[in-house]
Amino acid sequence: MPMPTSYNRSYTKAEQKLVERDKEMVPTILVRAMFVLCVSVLIIVAYARLTDRPLEAMPPSEAVVPVVQERTIRIFGQMDGSARVLDVDGTVIANLGPTEGGFVAGIYRVLERERGAVGRHASEPIRLVRFSDGRIGLRDDLTDFRAELFGFGASNEAVFARLLEE
């Protein structure tokens, strides 16, 4: 039985170049290398899980590195990036405009999500702590939320360092 005409078709030179180009778009060696990489990662992760390797990229716990300074604050953030930070007694610590309070307002939105999941309000107090090794972090006793601020860049960490000092 003869093949349909679409399979017996002969290509023009321009069409042949396009067919060849399409075959070379993703080289076979690259596809094989990606497959080997995926399998290698899977093997490494499986080995780590089966042998109970410790989590090495985690920051030290508070039991290992003591807290040297702590302040309980309340954060109020706006969608325009402005934020207001109050002490527990209601004293204004900082009024940050849209250009300087974006990170603090972002933390407020994270707290809205985390605390909303447990039926609490985002503006309830949160602990701002400095550890003996110099790290600054946020600790939420309501949701067990923890944020190590050094991971967000020096300028964002400096905003919260100023809140500790004021």
The rounded distance, in Å, linking the Cα atoms of 145 and 40 is 33
Helix (H, G, I), strand (E, B) or coil at 163: helix
The closest of 12, 162, 17, 38 to 94, measured between CA atoms, is 162
Q: How much is the pTM?
A: 0.62
Same domain, 25 and 101: no
Same domain, 123 and 157: yes
Residues 21-78 pLDDT 10s: 777 777 788 889 999 999 999 999 999 999 988 877 766 666 577 788 889 999 998 8
* Helix 154-165 / helix 102-116 crossing angle, nearest 10 deg: 80
- What's the domain range around 25? 13-51
Within a domain: 79:
yes
